[in-house]
Amino acid sequence: MQGKVLRYGLILFGCLISSAAINLFLVPNNLLSGGISGIAISCYYLFGLPIGTQMLIYNLPLLFAAYKTMGKAYTIDVIFGTVLFSLCIDGMQFLEAYNVVDDPMLAAIYGGVFTGIGYGIIFRVNGNSGGLDIVAAIAKKYYSLNMGGVIFAFNCVIMVIAAMLFGIKPAMFTLISMFVSSLVTDKVVAGFNNKKTIILVSDKTVDIADEIIKEVGRGVTFLKGEGAFTHQEKKVIFVVVNLTQIAKIKIIANLIDPMAFMIVLSANEVMGRGFTLPRDKIDKMIKDRKEKEHLAAFIKK
């Protein structure tokens, strides 16, 4: 129950951020956004119709299609996000009067950033704000089409129509805003806690692993490997570290085996002990190892 409340709270938070960005940056500068909201904003410019109310009406046939094709559970989730987003946009329309940025380029960039943050929060908790996401989900289920490609194709049609109605410049600035929004959305969904994955091949992996555990304080996993040319079996080190720990591991590997083969890869999000869970066991293991080494050194003396 607590998890559901938190999830729906985050969806509300994401809707508030995106709605505020549309009313603060996009609408005052006669810019559009992608999807159903782009159509609603166009009609707002032409006829003065409320954006949120339009979005809700335009989504009704899509919601019916979602219920018929995607099932009840998916549709209930979409209804919640759609209604909430529509209410937030109309409820925050008063922000349009502030016009905090009067430069279309800045409005496009900042509008893209904040709408991207809002959408990213919604998508990160597996929420949905309706619109073209429903069309893309149906197209993916029945025609195996890429969701991003379907949404991009629809947005291109919307931009062409917008260019014909309002001129080429607003359409170009809108494309900038949509591009920035998609980048930020992906970043928020993937996570900001970027880590690095290290894969290391050496004839002295055991020694290197021991030093990584002792000096860097990271758990190490051995993977089984075999050279394709020599058919020699080797232990491959697999370890996930923070960005600042890469240099220390490079030094350790170079000191123990200058011929070690090392690959550093990006990891967008890492979950588990040592990162999102308590790392008590590995901390205790490192402490016990150091105590044993001190005891061995004392006995040797």
pLDDT confidence bin for 40, thresholds 50/70/90: very high
d(CA 11, CA 119): 9
d(CA 79, CA 74): 9
Among 132-146, 152-166, 238-252, 260-274, where is mean pLDDT lowest?
132-146
Buried b (16+ CB within 10 A) or exposed e, 123-159: bbbebbbbbbbbbbbbbeeeeeeeeeebbeebbeebb
User: What is the structure's pLDDT at 95?
Assistant: 94
Q: Is 278's pLDDT higher than 60?
A: no
User: What is the structure's pLDDT at 277?
Assistant: 56
- What is the three-class DSSP state of 82? helix
Mean pLDDT over all residues of the chain? 85
Mean pLDDT along residues 207-230: 88
Name the β-bridge partners of 197: 240, 265
Q: Which of 159, 47, 180 is nearest to 108 (CA)?
A: 180
